[in-house]
Amino acid sequence: MRTRAAVAAATLALVLAACGDGGEDEATAIAELGADAVPREILGLRVEVEDVTDRIGGVERNYVDATGLYSLREEDRLQATLQIAHLNEDAAVDDETFRLSIVNQIGSTEPKAFRMGDETVYLTASKRQAVAVFFEERSFVVLSTLETFDKSRSLLREVLELEL
pTM of the model: 0.82
pLDDT for residue 58: 59
- pLDDT at 19 > cutoff 70: no
Domain layout of the chain by residue ranges: 2-161
Instruction: Classify domain 2-161 by CATH architecture.
Output: 3-Layer(aba) Sandwich (3.40)
pLDDT for residue 28: 60
Q: Which residues contact 8 (CB under 8 A, 6 or more apart)?
A: 50, 69, 71, 81, 83, 144
Tell me, what DSSP letter sits at residue 110? -
pLDDT for residue 106: 87
| Pick from 83, 71, 67: nearest CA to 1 | 71
Average pLDDT over residues 150-156: 94
Q: Average the pLDDT over each of 31-35, 71-75, 113-117 and give the range with the smallest value.
A: 31-35
